[in-house]
């Protein structure tokens, strides 16, 4: 009988995208296993169509709220009789759920004080902390005796959403001859990760005038204000989709872009995983650990002695890491990417 494996997914868009190589490696290690992924909605949309996943179990907080919700979820998982749990999420709660579900083999990093609940725990190695976060998950598998593989983050958009995206863009005057440039000015983890909307607008206007680009502004519900500021500051027309797309729709529209200019956000990782040339502006966060993964992507940053601080807001109140990144810098990088001179 095939082994039944439960993978506990991470809780952020970017983290989940960066963990997809580990999911592919688990499939390689257990090709005949039935692999289920426990994930919170709407992040489950990122895994639709992924060949490494046989079943998606939605950890909906509305259904599994509080301690009683955890007990209920664990009981439902217990009925599925999993043989092992691989916890890509670091939280104590992930280990509690696997323990209460009576999964005999429970594997993960010994983080958040949960070592006692794991049957196979791994200490995070110093060298792992110095690499891209994609390897954080792959190194866990290596330490557990599995082959890590050579996979890159990958997502699987569907034809139906792609068709709708093409039709919408066509209806809004986007022709096949016009390069589509995505602008993603928001960020969920605090204002320190946000480059200035007026500078995004400046770069976008120049790309429209110089390359005939059509600009599409992206963002989640929390990014509507930033996206609106960009649109208002632009002198050229743009299509503003901020707050109007699901994750599956975001994937479809991002895939249509010839260039995606963004802060360090989940959408940045989505874009890169779709193979879209991605230009990311970095300031307070670690470009080595969480930059867009893969060849053909560009990071624009100016090293300052206080970066990366990993803070939500600037402790010094002046955001020097972002202030020093000029519109000219980002425009020149975008120009090089559009002309095929990516580094």
> What's the pLDDT tens digit per position in 223-249?
999 999 999 999 999 999 999 999 999
Does the domain formed by 159-338 have CATH 3.40.50.2000? yes
> What's the pLDDT tens digit per position in 106-120?
999 999 999 999 999
> What's the pLDDT tens digit per position in 265-296?
999 999 999 999 999 999 888 999 999 999 99
> What's the pLDDT tens digit per position in 174-209?
987 889 999 999 987 778 789 999 999 999 999 999
Residue found by looking up tokens 């990144």 in the block:
325
Q: Is the peptide bond before 255 cis (omega within 30 degrees of 0)?
A: no
- Distance (Å, rounded) from C-alpha 224 to C-alpha 217? 10
Give the end-to-end CA distance of the chain in Å, rounded to a whole number: 49
| Nearest residue to 28 (alpha-carbon basis) of 111, 150, 118, 112 | 150
CA 145, chain centre distance (Å): 27
pLDDT score of 303: 87
Q: Which two tokens stand for residue 167?
A: 């039709």
Summarize the confidence of residues 319-338 as an average pLDDT: 94
Mean pLDDT of the chain: 95
Confidence of residue 314 (pLDDT cuts 50, 70, 90): confident
- Distance (Å, rounded) from C-alpha 313 to C-alpha 27? 39
> What's the pLDDT tens digit per position in 92-109?
999 999 999 999 999 999
pLDDT score of 342: 42
What ranges do the domains of the chain cover?
4-143, 159-338
127: pLDDT strictly greater than 90: yes
Thinking of the domain 4-143, which architecture would CATH place it in? 3-Layer(aba) Sandwich (3.40)
User: Which residues are 299's β-sheet partners?
Assistant: 280
Helix (H, G, I), strand (E, B) or coil at 108: strand
| Nearest residue to 252 (alpha-carbon basis) of 163, 185, 153 | 163
- Distance (Å, rounded) from C-alpha 319 to C-alpha 126? 29
Return all residues near 212 (Cβ < 8 A) that are at least 6 apart: 177, 178, 179
| Cβ contact 259:277 at 8 Å | yes
Q: Which two tokens stand for residue 117?
A: 């609940």
| Cβ contact 72:44 at 8 Å | no
343: pLDDT strictly greater than 60: no
Summarize the confidence of residues 151-179 as an average pLDDT: 94
pLDDT score of 318: 64
Please check whether the two domains, 4-143 and 159-338, share a CATH topology: yes
85: pLDDT strictly greater than 70: yes
Q: Is the peptide bond before 308 cis (omega within 30 degrees of 0)?
A: yes
The residue that leads in pLDDT, 96 or 323, is 96
User: Which residues are 279's β-sheet partners?
Assistant: 261, 298
The residue that leads in pLDDT, 296 or 18, is 18
């Amino acid at each position: 009988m095939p082994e039944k494996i439960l993978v506990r997914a991470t809780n952020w868009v970017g983290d989940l995208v960066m963990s997809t190589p580990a999911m592919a490696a688990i499939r390689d290690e257990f090709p005949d296993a039935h692999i289920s992924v426990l994930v919170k909605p709407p992040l489950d949309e990122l895994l639709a169509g992924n060949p490494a996943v046989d079943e998606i179990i939605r950890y909906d907080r509305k259904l599994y709220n509080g301690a009683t919700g955890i007990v209920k979820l664990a009981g439902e998982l217990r009925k599925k009789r999993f043989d092992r749990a691989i916890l890509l999420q670091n939280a104590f709660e992930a280990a509690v759920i696997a323990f209460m579900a009576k999964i005999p083999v429970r594997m993960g990093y010994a983080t958040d004080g949960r070592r006692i609940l794991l049957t196979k725990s791994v200490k995070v190695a110093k060298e792992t902390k110095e690499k891209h976060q994609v390897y954080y998950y792959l190194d866990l598998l290596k330490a557990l005796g599995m082959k890590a593989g050579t996979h890159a983050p990958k997502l699987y958009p569907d034809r139906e959403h792609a068709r709708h995206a093409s039709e919408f863009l066509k209806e809004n005057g986007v022709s096949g001859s016009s390069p589509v440039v995505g602008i993603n000015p928001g960020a969920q983890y605090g204002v320190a990760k946000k480059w200035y909307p007026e500078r995004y607008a400046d770069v976008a206007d120049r790309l429209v005038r110089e390359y005939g680009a059509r600009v599409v502004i992206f963002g989640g519900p929390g990014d509507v204000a930033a996206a609106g500021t960009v649109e208002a500051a632009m002198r050229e027309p743009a299509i503003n989709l901020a707050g109007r797309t699901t994750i599956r729709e975001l994937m479809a529209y991002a895939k249509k872009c010839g260039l995606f200019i963004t802060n360090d956000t989940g959408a940045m990782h989505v874009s890169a995983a779709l193979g879209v040339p991605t230009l990311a502006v970095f300031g307070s966060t670690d470009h080595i650990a969480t930059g867009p993964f893969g060849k053909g992507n560009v990071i624009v940053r100016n090293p300052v002695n206080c970066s990366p601080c990993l803070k939500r807001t600037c402790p010094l109140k002046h955001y020097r890491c972002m202030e020093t990144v000029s519109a000219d810098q980002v425009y020149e990088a975008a120009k090089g990417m559009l002309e095929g001179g990516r580094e």
